[in-house]
Amino acid sequence: MPPQLKRLLPAFIIFILLFLILKHFLTPETFGEKGHYRYSSIAEVQQTQMKYAGKDKCNECHDDIVENLDMDVHAGLSCETCHGPGLMHAENDGEYEIIIPSEREMCALCHSMNVSRSTREIVQVNILEHNSGKKCIDCHNPHMPWELKE
């Protein structure tokens, strides 16, 4: 055996032992029990409080708006994309307020110029120049954007 390997062999052995010791202490107890994940995480996720209702729940009370939206370029979006979590609102007959986006920043999340986005899918505008100082909803109805307000 070459002398270089004789000097490196103890370093490799120490490295491997250190790795195995760290793996033992850092691997969660239930990891690998039922698959390549931490099995106890399933119970933790089940205890997480739900926040989102889904578009079907919105449709129960707001069917006219959902119908308009389904004819629109925004049809693939959940209502909660813009209006935020709606489960508390839906379960309590509208007592809890939802977000009514009115500021430009909300629309800009999707519609501001971004070279990485496809312009065929999402209309993009320079948010700093396009009707600067006005709210988007002053001209556009987000539920029917093909109709401009007058």
Q: What is the pLDDT of residues 15-60, one digit of tens each?
A: 999 999 999 999 999 999 999 999 999 999 999 988 999 888 988 9
For residue 80, the number of C-alpha atoms closer than 13 Å in the C-beta half-sphere is 16
Phi/psi-derived region of residue 84, left when phi > 0, alpha when psi is between -120 and 50, beta in every other case = left
Q: How much is the mean pLDDT over the chain?
A: 86
Name the pLDDT band for 145 (thresholds 50, 70, 90): low
Is pLDDT above 70 for 148? no
Residue type, 121: E
Place of tokens 């979006």: 77
139: its two tokens: 């001209």
Distance of CA 141 to the CA centre of its chain: 24
The radius of gyration of the chain's CA atoms, rounded to the nearest angstrom, is 27
Q: What is the pLDDT of residues 67-120, one digit of tens each?
A: 888 877 778 888 898 888 999 998 988 888 888 887 888 888 888 888 888 777
Among residues 24, 42, 44, 26, the alpha carbon closest in space to that of 34 is found at 42
- The domain segmentation of the chain, as residue ranges, is 3-46, 55-138
Higher pLDDT among residues 13 and 115, named by residue: 13
